A = this chain, B = another copy of it.
Amino acid sequence: MLKYSVIDETLKALAEPTRRAIVERLSKGPASVSDVAAPFDMSLAAVVQHLQVLEESGLIKTEKIGRVRTCSIEPKGWGTLADWIADRRTVMERKFDRLGEILAEDDTPTNKRKRKGKQK
């Protein structure tokens, strides 16, 4: 319930099997809403809702021409996601370099005594 961010919407969008399946379909090429929906055992309206979440997150984009809406991957959204993960891994690996195998065995006592009683 903290603040919103791009990475938040991106990860929320992908944290759903149906939406990941949609994304995997689109990563092979653009498709209409109906085409995207076809393989799924759910209503077209439900798939449309998933597509909206994906579009708002910036992972895909859509464009309506005539009565057909064509959906495709939006590379930019994937960049920010990959960057965030890469950042985390960089910090971790720097830590590994610095501390050797401490994380691997991690019995080091981080006994920072907190004497503040503030628990909430």
The residues of A with any CB-CB pair to B shorter than 8 Å are 1-3, 5, 7-8, 11-12, 14-15, 17-18, 20-21, 23-24, 27-32, 34-35, 38, 41-44, 61, 63, 65, 68, 70, 72-73, 75, 78, 81-82, 85-86, 88-89, 91-92, 95-96, 99, 102-104, 106-112, 114, 119-120
Contact = CB atoms under 8 A, between A and B. Distances in A.
Given A15-B14, A17-B8, A44-B119, A75 B104 contact: yes
Given A15-B15, A106-B72, A114-B35, A88 B8 contact: no
B110 A32 contact: yes
A70 B110 contact: yes
Contacts of A78: 85, 88-89, 92
Nearest to A103: B72
Given A24-B88, A88-B23, A17 B29 contact: no
A31 B110 contact: yes
A85 B91 CA distance: 19
Nearest to A14: B11
